[in-house]
Structure 1
Amino acid sequence: MLFAVIPPRGGRPHPIRVAVLAGLLALSSFTALALDFPLTLGQAQQLAVARSRQLNAQDQAVTAAREMAVAAGQLPDPILKVGVDNLPVSGTDRGSLTSDFMTMRRVGVMQEITRTDKRQLRTERYDRAADKALAEKATTIAAIQRETAIAWLDRYYAEQMLAVAVEQIQQAKLEIEATQAAYRGGRSSQADVFSARSALAMADDRTSEFQKKLKNARTTLARWTGDASDIALAGKPDIDSIRLDQMSLETSLAHHPQIAILNRQTEIAELDTRLAAANKKSDWTVEVAFQQRGPAYSNMVSIGLSLPFQWDQKNRQDRELSSKLAMLEQSRAERDDMLRAHVAEAQIMITEWQSNRERATRYEHELIPLARERTQAVMAAYRGGKSSLRDVLAARRNELDTRLQTLQLQADAARLWAQLNFLTPADVVNKDMP
Structure 2
Amino acid sequence: MAAAQADSPILTLGAALDAAQARSATLQAQDAATRAVRDMAVSAGRLPDPVLRLSVDNLPIEGPMRYSLTDDFMTMRSVSLMQTFPNSEKRQARSSRYEREAEAASSMRSMQKARLLTQTARAWFERYFQEQMIDLLRRQHQDASRVSEAVESAYRGGRAPQADVLASHAAMARIDDRLHEVRVDLANAQALLQRWVGEAASQPLGSPPTIDRTRLSGHQLPHQIDLHPEIAVMNARERVAQAEAELAKQDKNADWSWSLMYSKRGSQFGDMVSLGVSIPLQWDQARKQDRELAARLQRVEQVRLEREEMRRDHLFEVQRLIANWQSNLTRLADYDKTLIPLTIERVVATEAAFRGGKAPLTAVLEAQRMVTDTRMERLRIEKQTAAWWVELEFLIPHDPVAQATPTNPSNPPAQEQKP
TM-score, length of structure 2 as denominator length: 0.90
The equivalent residue for 2:373 is: 401
The equivalent residue for 1:240 is: 212
| 1:101 equivalenced with 2:73 (yes/no) | yes
The equivalent residue for 2:268 is: 296
Is contact 2:340–2:371 with CA below 8 Å preserved after alignment?
Answer: yes
The one of 85, 91, 102 aligned to 1:119: 91
The equivalent residue for 2:188 is: 216
DSSP-derived class of the 1:254 partner: helix
Q: Which residue type is aligned with residue 166 of structure 1?
A: R
| Distance in structure 2 (CA, Å) of the matches to 1:263 and 1:83 | 51
The one of 164, 179, 198 aligned to 2:136: 164
The equivalent residue for 1:52 is: 24
The equivalent residue for 2:302 is: 330
DSSP-derived class of the 1:427 partner: coil
**Structure 2 unaligned residues grouped into runs of 5+:** 1-5, 406-418
TM-fit CA distance, 1:37:
4.0
TM-fit CA distance, 1:36:
4.0
| Distance in structure 2 (CA, Å) of the matches to 1:269 and 1:431 | 41
DSSP-derived class of the 2:246 partner: helix
TM-fit CA distance, 1:186:
4.2
TM-fit CA distance, 1:293:
2.8
Q: Which residue type is aligned with residue 416 of structure 1?
A: W
The equivalent residue for 1:230 is: 202
Is contact 1:38–1:233 with CA below 8 Å preserved after alignment?
Answer: yes
- Provide Cα deviations, 1:385-411, integer angstroms capped at 9, x if missing partner: 222211111111111111111111111
Q: Which residue type is aligned with residue 276 of structure 1?
A: A
| Distance in structure 2 (CA, Å) of the matches to 1:405 and 1:42 | 27
Q: Which residue type is aligned with residue 193 of structure 1?
A: V
Is contact 2:347–2:368 with CA below 8 Å preserved after alignment?
Answer: yes
Is contact 2:215–2:393 with CA below 8 Å preserved after alignment?
Answer: yes
| 1:383 equivalenced with 2:351 (yes/no) | no
- What's the % identity of the aligned pairs? 44
The equivalent residue for 2:390 is: 418
| Distance in structure 1 (CA, Å) of the matches to 2:97 and 2:7 | 48
Is contact 1:250–1:339 with CA below 8 Å preserved after alignment?
Answer: no
The one of 153, 156, 180 aligned to 2:152: 180
Report the more deviating stretch, 149-158 or 322-331.
Answer: 322-331
Task: Show the 5 A alignment for 1:271-290.
Answer: 271-290=243-262
DSSP-derived class of the 2:282 partner: coil
Do the aligned partners of residues 183 and 429 (structure 1) sit closer, same or farther apart at CA in structure 2, a change above 3 Å counting?
closer
TM-fit CA distance, 1:90:
4.3
The equivalent residue for 1:29 is: none
TM-score, length of structure 1 as denominator length: 0.87
| Distance in structure 2 (CA, Å) of the matches to 1:431 and 1:363 | 25
| Distance in structure 1 (CA, Å) of the matches to 2:239 and 2:139 | 59
**Alignment coverage as a number of residue pairs:** 402
DSSP-derived class of the 1:84 partner: strand
Task: Show the 5 A alignment for 1:345-356.
Answer: 345-356=317-328
The equivalent residue for 1:69 is: 41
Is contact 1:35–1:231 with CA below 8 Å preserved after alignment?
Answer: no
Report the more deviating stretch, 309-318 or 177-186.
Answer: 177-186
Root mean square deviation, CA, Å: 2.2
Q: Which residue type is aligned with residue 116 of structure 1?
A: S
DSSP-derived class of the 1:310 partner: coil
Is contact 2:224–2:396 with CA below 8 Å preserved after alignment?
Answer: no
